[in-house]
Amino acid sequence: MRDLYRGEFPHVGGGELVRVPPPDPLAGYLDRAQRELEWLLEQYQQVKPVAP
């Protein structure tokens, strides 16, 4: 976890310490994998096998 200061400037409000979780490294990977799978599915649907 990283510590970030929100509202550091006095006109915004005190220097409240906010806990910010680090970005999930798997999130981007899973998102990309899902897009690749959808692309492969589109390619497969365009081919249409002759006999099941």
| Confidence (pLDDT) at 46 | 83
| Dist CA 39 CA 29 (whole Å) | 15
| Confidence (pLDDT) at 29 | 83
pTM value? 0.40
- Over residues 1-52, the pLDDT tens digits come to 444 555 444 444 555 566 666 777 777 888 888 999 999 988 888 876 666 6
| Confidence (pLDDT) at 26 | 77
Domain boundaries in the chain? 2-47
| Dist CA 26 CA 21 (whole Å) | 14
